[in-house]
Amino acid sequence: MAEIRRPDDMVRITTPELAEAFIAEQTELVRKQVGDRKVLLALSGGVDSSVVAALLIRAIGKKLVCVHVNHGLLRKGEPEQVIEVFRNQMDANLIYVEASDRFLDRLAGVSDPEQKRMIIGGEFIEVFAEEARKLDDIDFLAQGTIWPDILESERGIKAHHNAGGLPEDMKFELVEPVRILFKDEVRIVGKQLGLPDSMVFRQPFPGPGLGVRCPGAITRDRLEAVRESDAILREEFAKNGLEGKVWQYFTVVPEFKSTGIRDGKRSFEWSCIIRAVNTEDAMTATVENIPFDLMCHIVERITHEVKGINRVLYDFTPKPAGTIEFE
């Protein structure tokens, strides 16, 4: 099963009809592969794992066990959306793990970006493995592997983590129903499966989440300032037609503070940096030209609504010289 390749003559999925045909074919294949046994899936809420979840729910219903780990670095409303869409609307078998304290405690005082990434990645596998060990009779692990992942791992660009880096003693057969699809096809299939646009067409979001947007050692108060300012930026971009147009946009709150004025008194608070970029492949990026009036409105909202922020800056740096994320 794991060796399935995209046929050279496969027609690109661009219409609901083609998506429906793909869904019907994969549903059959998954039912044949899995029988009446159970499948486990780490459901992040990202495009690929969400589409895999929706497809497997259609194929095998409650025999799919989804685990959503909240590592405390998700955007505002994300865990709630996963629960609403999968548990409430799709009636999925969903285990929600609130692990924010565990991750933030492990990250306390850690300022090196790569060490932060390693802690978040390692802790994620540990939490997921712990949940998996609590379950009986799981034979399969579903993954949101897509065709570019396979091509990149074959070219040695990116390691394709089989079985998500789980401990050696945890052996599962893989179920990879979107393995032969390109990203745009995954989105069309997801839409056809009834997932909301906000999930299927969402901007890229890194695995370490808001952790890389709270530069240096993460503190809960500064992380909250990142989360709240990001929510305002996303809300304003959605209201003003920039959602789906700008490739990636977010806020960053570095550790330094500066002087300002709040309620007529001197304040000493953080600055929030807005980043909004466009790119084809994330290797290079250009800066979005945000309308000045909208920018002023966003600044007004962030400085008034987000605790601890008295200044908002715009990052005009293309990639290169800057990377898209700050660390």
Stretch that binds ligand XMP, among 1-9, 164-172, 184-192, 201-209 (CB under 6 A): 201-209
Instruction: State yes or no: residue 72 binds ligand XMP (CB under 6 A).
Output: no
Instruction: State yes or no: residue 248 binds ligand XMP (CB under 6 A).
Output: yes
Whole-angstrom Cα distance, residue 197 to residue 302? 26
Cβ 99 to ligand XMP shortest distance, Å: 18
- Tell me whether residue 76 or residue 161 sits nearer to ligand XMP (CB atom): 161
Residues 13, 189: contact at Cβ < 8 Å? yes
Instruction: State yes or no: residue 282 binds ligand XMP (CB under 6 A).
Output: yes
- Tell me whether residue 117 or residue 297 sits nearer to ligand XMP (CB atom): 117
Q: How many CB atoms lie within 10 A of CB 142?
A: 27
Which of 164, 196, 206, 254 lies at the binding interface for ligand XMP (CB under 6 A)?
206
Cβ 140 to ligand XMP shortest distance, Å: 24
Burial class (CB in 10 A: 0-12, 13-18, 19+), 73: buried
Residues 120, 107: contact at Cβ < 8 Å? yes
Number of shown-chain residues binding ligand XMP (CB under 6 A): 11
Instruction: State yes or no: residue 323 binds ligand XMP (CB under 6 A).
Output: yes
Instruction: State yes or no: residue 325 binds ligand XMP (CB under 6 A).
Output: yes
Pairing state of beta strands 173-175 and 257-262? unpaired
All residues at 6 or more sequence positions from 290 whose CB lies less than 8 Å from its CB, including other chains: 242, 274, 276, 314
Whole-angstrom Cα distance, residue 174 to residue 327? 32
- Tell me whether residue 6 or residue 117 sits nearer to ligand XMP (CB atom): 117
Residue 32: DSSP 8-state? H
Stretch that binds ligand XMP, among 74-82, 92-100, 206-214, 264-272 (CB under 6 A): 206-214
Per-residue x/- track, 112-131, ligand XMP (CB under 6 A): -----x--------------
- Tell me whether residue 164 or residue 206 sits nearer to ligand XMP (CB atom): 206
Which of 207, 216, 254, 308 lies at the binding interface for ligand XMP (CB under 6 A)?
207
Instruction: State yes or no: residue 318 binds ligand XMP (CB under 6 A).
Output: no
Q: How far is CA 55 from the centre of its chain?
A: 18
* Alpha helices by DSSP H, the chain: 16-34, 47-60, 78-82, 100-107, 113-134, 147-154, 183-192, 197-200, 220-239, 292-305
As a dihedral over the C-alpha atoms of residue 35, residue 5, residue 128, residue 134, rounded to 10 degrees, the angle is 20
Cβ 287 to ligand XMP shortest distance, Å: 13
Which of 61, 204, 244, 291 lies at the binding interface for ligand XMP (CB under 6 A)?
204
For ligand XMP, the binding residues (CB under 6 A) are 117, 204, 206-208, 248, 282, 319, 323-325
